[in-house]
Structure 1
């Protein structure tokens, strides 16, 4: 899948290296799904970024999971900054797909080795990921990525 290039506000867009560093460093994203009846549902969640996709370790008995099983289109937002001149962020529009067993019940899975390593290091300062049997992995592949960094103004 090819990600569409950003067309608006290119002067404040992050470079590919800046975007990669930002998504690697930030700890919380907000994920928007569509609930039954068309209502938006937005929740904060920890995530891992592997340089091409956002990986979410989500409770399988959650509204977010139910929404994505019915409608895989998703919006993910990651932002930082306290004052207007410090604001920066990324919006990813794409689709979610399940990777691995649901719920995740341990054992080696080559397709999850990298996101589990990244997640364990980022949030638990651990070399190995330990699942809890209540979550599953979702991979968000982007159709469009928009970024902004007001510090460039």
Structure 2
């Protein structure tokens, strides 16, 4: 491409909603923590390596019998409350601003459990009902590096 020589109508992505391709053999429930795998497809939050949190699923989708990318799911980055782990993996006020890790599609933990969990997002705040996690894929990748 060459440099502009006139005005350009540059498209803008409005709002936080995104749509992504779902991994093979995956069922995602609305409200679930959503993660991207190493090949770029979306899966539900889970204890596994090679994933990165991207946001909250906005809808139920069933690709249990499908191949990678057969269906799409709408999701939203942002700050959402999920369940807190217990005991040594419980997230507290001391963990604000730190990366938290996915246990399943609705639970986060303080640690990677000896490198068996992937980063879900960054702890925004904690209350008596759970952990508020900031889902921003780029921020989480940078914070976890």
Q: Provide TM-score, normalisation by structure 1.
A: 0.28
Larger radius of gyration: 2
Q: Compare relative contact order (CA 8 Å, sep 6+) and give the higher one, 1 or 2.
A: 1
More helix by share: 1
Q: What TM-score results when the alignment is normalised by the length of structure 2? A: 0.29
